[in-house]
Amino acid sequence: MNKASEKVPEWLRQSVEQEVAQAELGDARRNRVAGQLVARLSQQPAASLANALEDEASLEAAYRLLNNEAVSWQDLLSGHLLATRERAGLVQECLAIHDTTEFVFPGDSYRAGLGPTTTRGQGFFLHAAVAVSADGDRIPLGTLAAEVYTRPIDSRGVRVGHQRRLKPNQVSKQARQAGNIPQWPKESRRWMELMERIEQARAGRFECIHVMDREGDIYEVLKAATELNARFVIRACQDRAVFHQGQLTHLFELARAQPPQASRQIELSERSGKARSFDPKSHPPRKERKATVAFSSTRACLRKPDSKGRTPQGIEVNLVRVWEPEPPPGEPAVEWFLLTTEPMETVSAVERIVDIYRARWLIEEFFKALKTGCAMEQRQHESFHALANILGLCLPIAWRLLLLRALERTCPTAPASLAFTPRQLLILAQLVKNLPRAPTVQQALGALARRGGHLKRNGAPGWQTLWRGFRELQLVEIGWMLAEKRLSRSQKL
Q: For residue 87, how far is the Cα from the chain centroid?
A: 17
CB 87 within 8 A of CB 131: yes
What is the pLDDT at residue 274? 55
37 vs 22: CA distance, rounded Å: 14
What is the pLDDT at residue 308? 62
DSSP assignment of 191-231: HHHHHHHHHHHHTTT-EEEEEE-GGG--HHHHHHHHHTT-E
What is the pLDDT at residue 210? 98
User: What residues of the chain score a pLDDT lower than 70?
Assistant: 1-15, 153-185, 271-283, 307-312, 462-464, 491-493
The SS3 assignment for 20 reads: helix
Phi (first) and psi of residue 441, to 5 degrees = -55, -45
CB burial string 450-485: b at 16+ within 10 A, e below: bbbebeeeeeebbbbbbbbbbbbbbebbbeeeeeee
What is the pLDDT at residue 450? 84
Closest alpha carbon to 295 in 210, 356, 363: 356
What is the pLDDT at residue 14? 62
**In DSSP terms, which residues pair with 133 in a beta bridge?**
94
pTM for the model stands at 0.83
Closest alpha carbon to 12 in 136, 141, 146, 205: 141
What is the pLDDT at residue 493? 61
Closest alpha carbon to 121 in 136, 108, 132: 108
